[in-house]
Amino acid sequence: MENLVESLEKAVEELIGSNAELRAKLRESEEERQSLLESLSQKDRDIEQLETKMKALKMANSLAGSGTDDKEVRKVLNEFVRDIDKCIALLNG
pLDDT in tens, 62-76: 777 655 567 777 787
In tens, the pLDDT along 25-38 reads: 999 999 999 999 99
**Over residues 47-70, mean pLDDT:** 77
pLDDT classification of 49: cutoffs 50, 70, 90? very high
For the entire predicted model, the pTM comes to: 0.54
Q: What is the pLDDT of residue 83?
A: 86
For a pLDDT cut of 70, what percent of the chain falls above it?
94
Task: State residue 66's pLDDT score.
Answer: 57
Residue 33's pLDDT is what? Answer: 96
Question: CB burial class (10 A; 0-12, 13-18, 19+) of residue 23?
Answer: exposed
Distance between CA 43 and CA 62 in Å, rounded? 28
